[in-house]
Chains A and B, each alone.
Chain A
Amino acid sequence: MWDYTDKVMDHYKNPRNVGEIENPSAIGEAGSLVCGDALKLYLKVDDNGIITDAKFQTFGCGSAVASSSVLTEMLKGMTIDEASKITNQQIADALGGLPPQKMHCSVMGHEALESAIANYKGEDAAAHCDEKIICTCYHVTESALREAVEQNNLTDLEDVMNYTKAGGACGQCHIAIQKIIDEIKNKKEKVDIKNMSTTQLVLKINNVIEKHIASELRKDGGDIELVDVKDNKVFVSLKGMCKSCKFSSNTLKNFVEASLKEHISPDIEVVEV
């Protein structure tokens, strides 16, 4: 039994705005019969760009029906512009939350809305067909994955499955999904070093040295020590075998500096003391 909120139960028991709109201004679709989740969203928009009516038809579980139903309530009275700013999290919040494994239902609502808005603006739906599909089982595109990961701060594979269903079937795309998660995580962690306090920066540098640099140098009997940090300059001293190694300047530039640049900021410059 899922732990559904009263709001979710109310919406699947008494779904609002079920059905089709005759001569709709826009139709949006998401999901498919194969996936076990499909949603059709119909919008009526007046001359001022205000949504005057919204209806839906959904093939899906309780939370899918509830997400569609609450979405139609949210949309009525909004301008298309306002509607385009709705996130899947807002749909889930309007229901008082969804179980983590059911967040993909709110994502489906959001996708149908995006599709309807594109349809309203006369954007070519076919343009989206060129997009790279990561999960072929559930037909999840790279851009949809990136959007879900970025908007909801998803940090692991299981979260991504719960939100997008991607990777939930054959599992062949797990590596590709993990790559997207890592990439977005890395990007977020890389911040402008000018906005960091020296202590913060030192901690970060030490962390990268410990995790990525020192362990490698130790394999060859060498080591490294952080001496000082001034603005973008990082002062280090090489120890052990590295000290006498004739390739030490090479190690410093191509490995130590490159690692710090990759993990912290491209502005970093390493100086040996």
Chain B
Amino acid sequence: MSQKIVYLDNNATTMTDPEVFEAMKPYFCDLYGNPSSMHEFGGQVAKAVEKAREQVKDFIGAKDAKEIIFTASGSEGDNMAIRGILEANKNKKHIITTKIEHPAVLNLFKYFEKQGYEVTYLSVDSKGNLDLNELSNSVTEDTAIVSLMYANNETGVILPVEKAAKIVKQKNPKTKVHVDAVQAAGKIPLDVKNTDIDLLTIAGHKIHAPKGIGALYVKTGTLLPAFVIGGHQERGKRAGTENVPYIVGLGKACEIAKNSLEYEMNEVKRLRDKLENGIIKSVYNAKVNGSTTNRVPNTTNIGFQYIEGELILLHLSDLGICASSGSACTSGSLEPSHVLKSMGVPFEALHGSIRFSLSRFTTEEEIDYVLKVLPDVIFKLNKISPYQRELKALEEAHKR
């Protein structure tokens, strides 16, 4: 492919930062020792792993590096946290989550529902916001865990997890709170230490580390059984020789992400807003899905009414633009986005919803390019739609 790629799908995955890649390189062919070995050759590798643990600790604002367990992915972190808490609290049979979670949490809850657990799925309003009263009313003596996402992957809407954790503890101090922070990490500041959050999951590949590495924060004093039984690695909670190069990479990525937060929250946000406003202004059948105020700075979810999302993506892809869609056709599951459906997004915008997610590597030129070519793509596709009358009405309303 010779065409230049404009990558606006950073909530799916990110480019590994070349600086991160550089930091990882020595740990393949030179510093390949086992961190558990007695010799100095392995010992220096153990030090690199511990440095990375410190970097992750600083990034999420934990008190102690011992609270960090390295995992292979966000899904693994979610599983380790939720399964572990349920195993440690076998007498409790009620669990709480939201309707808009990532499948890594949602499908796990559905699994436990089949196993006989009582599950509360909290709703969201049309902006994607949680009702904290509903949460408060749901927590009982029997609630083992509440798992909430920090930011939604499709809309970028931020949930008030710190407040929510406090509410949970007020109702039942023994109920554990897990936060899936995979989409919040690197976009907004994380600081777990003075909160009621017991467990928090992050994934490396969303913050410019490679795929295949993540971390779970487990607050000191939280009883969590081993997820992988075997050796003593990760304090016996996840046995297996450490994935050293990737752990080093995650550490470096966390360090850079922490230092880039200012840029994310100002410059990335500026470009995201420019893209969003530009599209809304020039395309009459475009509408933002979800809250525009309470969002991570890199994400916008736009519903193009009366045309279908996969078709838009295919045409954008031909122009080198990468985005994603909540349309049914892109998933192969026949069902459109459960997140947008939970928010009550109407069908005419649901099937044509496109998510653009930027990163600190996104440039002004790229946004200008998208703003230049996208309207024509949409207008071309509008001509194919059988809903000409409805489109005409939107066009008229837009002019006014």
Q: Decide whether A and B assemble into one complex.
A: yes
Partner-B contacts on A (CB < 8 A): 12-13, 15, 18-20, 33-34, 36-40, 57-62, 64-65, 101, 138, 161, 165, 168-169
B308 CB within 8 Å of chain A: yes
Q: How far is the CA of A12 from the CA of B384 in the complex (A)?
A: 10
Q: How far is the CA of A198 from the CA of B22 in the complex (A)?
A: 74
Question: 16 A-B Cβ contacts within 8 A?
Answer: A12-B314, A20-B388, A33-B387, A36-B308, A36-B328, A57-B386, A58-B384, A59-B351, A59-B387, A61-B309, A61-B310, A61-B330, A64-B311, A64-B329, A101-B332, A168-B335
Say whether, besides A59-B308, A62-B311, A38 and B383 are in contact (CB < 8 Å): no
Contact check, A33 vs B348: say whether CB atoms are below 8 A apart: yes
Contact check, A59 vs B314: say whether CB atoms are below 8 A apart: no
Residue of B nearest to A68 (CB): B384
The 10 A-B pairs at the shortest CB distance, nearest first, are namely A168-B334, A61-B329, A61-B310, A57-B386, A40-B386, A36-B351, A36-B328, A62-B314, A101-B332, A34-B347
Q: How far is the CA of A88 from the CA of B386 in the complex (A)?
A: 21
Chain B residues whose CB sits within 8 angstroms of the CB of A57 once the complex forms: 384-386, 388
Contact check, B383 vs A19: say whether CB atoms are below 8 A apart: yes
Q: How far is the CA of A165 from the CA of B334 in the complex (A)?
A: 7
Tell which of A58, A138, A165, A168 touches B386, judged by Cβ atoms closer than 8 Å: A58
Contact check, A62 vs B310: say whether CB atoms are below 8 A apart: yes
Contact check, B384 vs A18: say whether CB atoms are below 8 A apart: yes
Chain B residues whose CB sits within 8 angstroms of the CB of A40 once the complex forms: 386
CB distance from B345 to the nearest CB of A (A): 13
Q: How far is the CA of A33 from the CA of B308 in the complex (A)?
A: 10
- Given A38-B386, A138-B334, 16 more contacts at CB 8 Å? A12-B311, A18-B383, A20-B388, A33-B348, A36-B350, A59-B387, A60-B308, A61-B308, A61-B309, A61-B329, A62-B311, A64-B308, A65-B384, A101-B332, A165-B334, A168-B334
Contact check, A61 vs B388: say whether CB atoms are below 8 A apart: no
Partner-A contacts on B (CB < 8 A): 306-311, 314-315, 318, 327-330, 332-336, 347-348, 350-351, 383-388
Residue of A nearest to B307 (CB): A59
CB distance from A102 to the nearest CB of B (A): 8
Contact check, A59 vs B318: say whether CB atoms are below 8 A apart: no
Say whether, besides A62-B314, A168-B334, A39 and B386 are in contact (CB < 8 Å): yes
Tell which of A12, A33, A36, A138 touches B327, judged by Cβ atoms closer than 8 Å: A36
Chain A residues whose CB sits within 8 angstroms of the CB of B383 once the complex forms: 18-19
Contact check, A65 vs B311: say whether CB atoms are below 8 A apart: yes
Contact check, A33 vs B347: say whether CB atoms are below 8 A apart: yes
CB distance from B7 to the nearest CB of A (A): 15
Residue of A nearest to B333 (CB): A168
CB distance from B13 to the nearest CB of A (A): 14
Contact check, B314 vs A169: say whether CB atoms are below 8 A apart: no
Residue of B nearest to A39 (CB): B386
User: Binding site of A, secondary structure by majority: helix, strand, loop or mixed?
Assistant: mixed
CB distance from A24 to the nearest CB of B (A): 13
Q: How far is the CA of A13 from the CA of B315 in the complex (A)?
A: 7
Q: How far is the CA of A33 from the CA of B386 in the complex (A)?
A: 10
Q: How far is the CA of A18 from the CA of B388 in the complex (A)?
A: 12
Chain A residues whose CB sits within 8 angstroms of the CB of B347 once the complex forms: 33-34, 36
Q: How far is the CA of A56 from the CA of B286 in the complex (A)?
A: 24
Residue of B nearest to A31 (CB): B386
Say whether, besides A59-B306, A59-B387, A36 and B311 are in contact (CB < 8 Å): no
Chain B residues whose CB sits within 8 angstroms of the CB of A19 once the complex forms: 383
Chain A residues whose CB sits within 8 angstroms of the CB of B385 once the complex forms: 57-59
Chain A residues whose CB sits within 8 angstroms of the CB of B351 once the complex forms: 33, 36, 59
Q: How far is the CA of A61 from the CA of B308 in the complex (A)?
A: 6
Residue of B nearest to A60 (CB): B308
Q: Considering residues A18, A59, A161, A168, which has the most beta carbons from chain B within 10 angstroms of its beta carbon?
A: A59
CB distance from A74 to the nearest CB of B (A): 18
Tell which of A15, A34, A101, A169 touches B384, judged by Cβ atoms closer than 8 Å: A15
Chain A residues whose CB sits within 8 angstroms of the CB of B309 once the complex forms: 61
Contact check, A169 vs B335: say whether CB atoms are below 8 A apart: yes
Residue of A nearest to B346 (CB): A33
Residue of B nearest to A29 (CB): B386
Contact check, B311 vs A60: say whether CB atoms are below 8 A apart: yes
Chain B residues whose CB sits within 8 angstroms of the CB of A101 once the complex forms: 332
Chain B residues whose CB sits within 8 angstroms of the CB of A58 once the complex forms: 384-386
Residue of B nearest to A102 (CB): B329
Chain B residues whose CB sits within 8 angstroms of the CB of A12 once the complex forms: 311, 314
CB distance from A113 to the nearest CB of B (A): 15
Chain A residues whose CB sits within 8 angstroms of the CB of B306 once the complex forms: 33, 59
Contact check, B334 vs A161: say whether CB atoms are below 8 A apart: yes
Chain B residues whose CB sits within 8 angstroms of the CB of A34 once the complex forms: 347
CB distance from B328 to the nearest CB of A (A): 5
Residue of A nearest to B329 (CB): A61
CB distance from B59 to the nearest CB of A (A): 33
Q: Considering residues B314, B315, B386, which has the most beta carbons from chain A within 10 angstroms of its beta carbon?
A: B386
Q: How far is the CA of A57 from the CA of B351 in the complex (A)?
A: 16
Q: Considering residues A13, A20, A60, A161, which has the most beta carbons from chain B within 10 angstroms of its beta carbon?
A: A60
Q: How far is the CA of A257 from the CA of B327 in the complex (A)?
A: 53
Q: How far is the CA of A101 from the CA of B306 in the complex (A)?
A: 23
Chain B residues whose CB sits within 8 angstroms of the CB of A169 once the complex forms: 334-335
Q: How far is the CA of A61 from the CA of B328 in the complex (A)?
A: 9
Q: How far is the CA of A58 from the CA of B308 in the complex (A)?
A: 9
Q: How far is the CA of A33 from the CA of B309 in the complex (A)?
A: 13
CB distance from B8 to the nearest CB of A (A): 16
Chain B residues whose CB sits within 8 angstroms of the CB of A13 once the complex forms: 315, 318
Q: How far is the CA of A36 from the CA of B306 in the complex (A)?
A: 9
CB distance from A151 to the nearest CB of B (A): 21
Q: How far is the CA of A57 from the CA of B385 in the complex (A)?
A: 5
Q: Considering residues A36, A101, A161, A165, which has the most beta carbons from chain B within 10 angstroms of its beta carbon?
A: A36
Q: How far is the CA of A161 from the CA of B383 in the complex (A)?
A: 29
Q: How far is the CA of A77 from the CA of B135 in the complex (A)?
A: 64
Contact check, A61 vs B384: say whether CB atoms are below 8 A apart: no
Q: How far is the CA of A58 from the CA of B330 in the complex (A)?
A: 17
Chain A residues whose CB sits within 8 angstroms of the CB of B327 once the complex forms: 36, 61
Residue of A nearest to B390 (CB): A33
Contact check, A61 vs B387: say whether CB atoms are below 8 A apart: no
Residue of A nearest to B317 (CB): A1
